[in-house]
Structure 1
Amino acid sequence: MTTGSTAEPDGGDMHGADAAEPCQRAGPPKVPAQEPVVDAATAEKPNSGDLSPAQAGCSRNWRSPFVMGMTAAAGVAVTYGVVELIIAARQVLILIGCAFFIAMSLEPTVSWLVRHRLPRWAAVLSVLVGALGVAAGFIAAAIPPLMAQAGQFSVQIPEYLQSVHDPQSVLGRLNAQFEVQQRVQQFVSGQSAALAQGLLGAGKLLLSTISGAVVVAVLVVYFLAAMPRIRRALFRLVPADQRPRAVGIGNQIFDQTGGYLLGNLITSVIAGAAVFVWLVIFGVPFPLLLAVLAALLDLVPVVGPITAGVIVSLVSLTVSPPVALATVGFLVMYRVVEDYILVPKIIGRTAQVPAVATVVAVLLGAALLGIIGALVAIPVAAVIRLLLRELVLPRLDHE
């Protein structure tokens, strides 16, 4: 037996759809069609407790001056805290960045060994052993001459002191005319506390340098071992639709940076070897130390080779003025050969940075981070140029 009552329409789905609508579409609850419509003048306003959560949230005024002011103040406070945190951790961040750049410079060699069927851990170990062997060889070759020259200087100190009191010697005449000995004694007695603080500061600097080198070496090992995972993690931060393009740009960045740093290291070793051969041929003192200094300074673009050339030329002046002039000519010719033959062949087109941008980048890097900033200035400038060419300029051209 059927009843005559009619089934009412189910309003559960309708209510869920209304609750899911955005705030802009939220309004008074919908009235079913079969219910009589109440006149707007006599309709009772709904109680705030009867509103849905979405409607209640929309009743708040998020554009009020108080809310906007609090939001801006919170943003400024967070930004200030982040900046202070970066400044406090500046030294650690520099060490991490230096280790990462060294790992990027060694990554092409590790990848080449991996492509030749060598496990990655064995490739990393081989590269690190080779790099440490080269560094230990330089140190072992430089320390004996340095100690020998220091010993000779200590033996000659009494002779220098005796010549200062001899009025017939050059040092004696200079001492009698300018009172060099008295001025030195007054300076030492007046600056004894400053000298003691300077020696203490030098000891702290040496200790911090050694500890920093150890930290960088350990970080380089970890970065090299985890470089594929680091690259995949960085690429996953990009949305999926833009990930293929990001992978292509990221591979170019890694190739340019690693290729430039490794090529710069090779050209610096060649520069040190050339300087060493030249100084040995002409009998310039301290040839090995000067060659190591020239190789280290050659790592710093623009400024480093000029500084090394001035130092080597001044030392060669102790032999004779013609040897000094010949040394200057040799260094200028080698600079031309390195810039126009060695660098294009070894580094190639990995870092296509204009000359003006190179000088500006090196000066800014040296002013911000010192020697480390000057070392990484050109690859950073190359990365910025690549990002501008691939991302910014095409968007500006289509606008």
Structure 2
Amino acid sequence: MRPSSPDQRPYVSPAVRLAAEWSWRFLVVVAGVVLLAYGLSFVSEIVIPVLIALLVTALLAPVVNRLHHRLRVPRGLSVLVTMLVTAGVVAGLVTIVGSQASEQFPQLQQQAAQGVSEVERWLSDGPLHLTSTAISDYVQQAQDAISQNRETLIAGATGVVATAGHVIAGFFICLFTAFFFLLEGRRIWSWLLHLLPVPARDPLDDASRQSWVTLTHYMRATIVVAFTDGVGVAIGAAILQVPLATSLGLLVFLGAFIPIVGALLSGTVAVLVALVAHDFVTALIMLGVVLLVQQIESHLLQPFLMGRAVAVHPLAVILAVAGGASVFGIVGALFAVPTVAVLKSGISTLARGGRPDEEVEEITASDAPLAPDEPAPNDGTEHEDVEGGTQADPVER
């Protein structure tokens, strides 16, 4: 055999070469995403309120735009009125829930004690035939476990207090961020675009318009679906005379912002309250009410309200919620579906060459979601780019 030439390279099939090229690029992308998530975790007290403010902005922006463009109300006043009315509605709901809880919670506590006695009697007289001594032993074991883990419980309570402080700080960050997003969101986005290379500005701006309309539609549909779920469960609880009906409805309303599983899990609380306050039959009826509301949501509200602009396959929704919850907990479950919907719309727009569909063009031309009160600087003119040349403004064209 002749010795191989030193210049001769070992043969690598095109398939293997292609797989290797895709693999290292994929690993680089994954590593970048992991590093970004790890870095953001250190400032989660700021990032999470800003993301919530973005959802609030997507929900309130159509109202602000209608006040500003159609009723000719100054944009600053439109933002202020919208946020004050929203805050008033939230404060009213909290007041109603608080007053109802203060009135009915003592009765519910007494009924819960009676329910525990019923459970003890069922354990002794039911199919398990546990003696009172065995039940007392189990209760004593539970008390001993609590005593042994007292330091852990105290540390957890201290953590709850610290978390409450973060929640209050996050609330004010979210409030001020949403205000300025509604007031000058388009200018902020224009400034961020100018940090990018010139060729990337127009496609990314068009993709952002499509993504923003998708997020607006998603929030609009979600608020209607959540309201329907909450009202349905509250009416069912009121008819069955379940305590804290309004509070349970508000809990289901908040839980419905996590698609598919949120309203069902929060509705389980209503079933448990019905079981404690009344009996097993009432709890079964309450469970039927929760499932009926879920069926109305799944087969009527979701298909018609989400529409083509927020068309995400149910399997993608389930996997997104499960993945977000497993990695980031409740926050991940909350932002999983809007993130998937926004990425889907943005990537689809970029795949079309950065051209939004006709619906988005009509919406953004007539009522831009985050349009400022007046044109941004350099509107209709030219500005200097980083390299010293000139380029028409990609945002205000």
TM-score when normalising by structure 2: 0.68
User: Equivalences for 1:206-225 in 2 at 5 Å?
Assistant: 206-225=164-183
1:122 corresponds to 2:54: no
Aligned to 1:308: 266
Deviation (angstroms), 1:257: 0.7
Deviation (angstroms), 1:313: 2.4
User: Equivalences for 1:1-399 in 2 at 5 Å?
Assistant: 85-116=39-70, 117-152=72-107, 174=132, 177-237=135-195, 243-318=201-276, 319-392=278-351
Letter in 1 for 2:310: A
Task: Verify the 8 A CA contact 2:208 2:346 in the aligned structure 1.
Answer: no
How many angstroms apart in 2 are the aligned matches of 1:222 and 1:130?
17
What do residues 81-136 of structure 1 show as CA deviations (whole Å, max 9, x unaligned)?
A: 97875443233222222222322332222122222112111111121112211211
Closer, same or farther: CA 177–337 of 1 in aligned 2, 3 Å = closer
Gaps of 5+ in 2: 1-31, 355-397
Q: CA RMSD in A?
A: 3.6
Task: Verify the 8 A CA contact 2:233 2:293 in the aligned structure 1.
Answer: no
What do residues 243-301 of structure 1 show as CA deviations (whole Å, max 9, x unaligned)?
A: 54443322111111122123212321221112111111111222122111111111111
Instruction: Give the secondary-structure state (helix, strand or coil) at the position aligned to 1:300.
Output: coil
Deviation (angstroms), 1:394: 6.9
Instruction: Give the secondary-structure state (helix, strand or coil) at the position aligned to 2:308.
Output: coil
How many angstroms apart in 2 are the aligned matches of 1:162 and 1:353?
48
Gaps of 5+ in 1: 1-77
Q: Relative contact order: is structure 1 or structure 2 higher (C-alpha 8 Å, sep ≥ 6)? A: 2
Closer, same or farther: CA 156–271 of 1 in aligned 2, 3 Å = closer
Aligned to 1:32: none
TM-score when normalising by structure 1: 0.68
Task: Verify the 8 A CA contact 2:229 2:263 in the aligned structure 1.
Answer: no
How many angstroms apart in 2 are the aligned matches of 1:321 and 1:176?
25
How many angstroms apart in 1 are the aligned matches of 2:337 and 2:139?
48
What do residues 347-378 of structure 1 show as CA deviations (whole Å, max 9, x unaligned)?
A: 43331111111111112222333223222222
How many angstroms apart in 2 are the aligned matches of 1:115 and 1:340?
36
Instruction: Give the secondary-structure state (helix, strand or coil) at the position aligned to 1:376.
Output: helix
Instruction: Give the secondary-structure state (helix, strand or coil) at the position aligned to 2:241.
Output: coil
Task: Verify the 8 A CA contact 1:273 1:291 in the aligned structure 2.
Answer: yes
- After alignment, is 273-282 or 259-268 more displaced? 259-268
- Flag the structure with larger Rg: 1
Task: Verify the 8 A CA contact 1:297 1:305 in the aligned structure 2.
Answer: yes
Deviation (angstroms), 1:206: 1.9
Deviation (angstroms), 1:158: 10
Q: Identical aligned pairs, as a percentage? A: 25
Task: Verify the 8 A CA contact 1:263 1:346 in the aligned structure 2.
Answer: yes
Closer, same or farther: CA 133–233 of 1 in aligned 2, 3 Å = same
Task: Verify the 8 A CA contact 2:229 2:256 in the aligned structure 1.
Answer: yes
Deviation (angstroms), 1:138: 1.5
Task: Verify the 8 A CA contact 1:142 1:289 in the aligned structure 2.
Answer: yes
What do residues 42-84 of structure 1 show as CA deviations (whole Å, max 9, x unaligned)?
A: xxxxxxxxxxxxxxxxxxxxxxxxxxxxxxxxxxxx9999787
Letter in 2 for 1:295: F
Tell me the number of residue pairs that the alignment of Structure 1 and Structure 2 aligns. Answer: 315
Task: Verify the 8 A CA contact 1:174 1:180 in the aligned structure 2.
Answer: no
What do residues 295-345 of structure 1 show as CA deviations (whole Å, max 9, x unaligned)?
A: 111111122022123222233334343433333333222222223322344
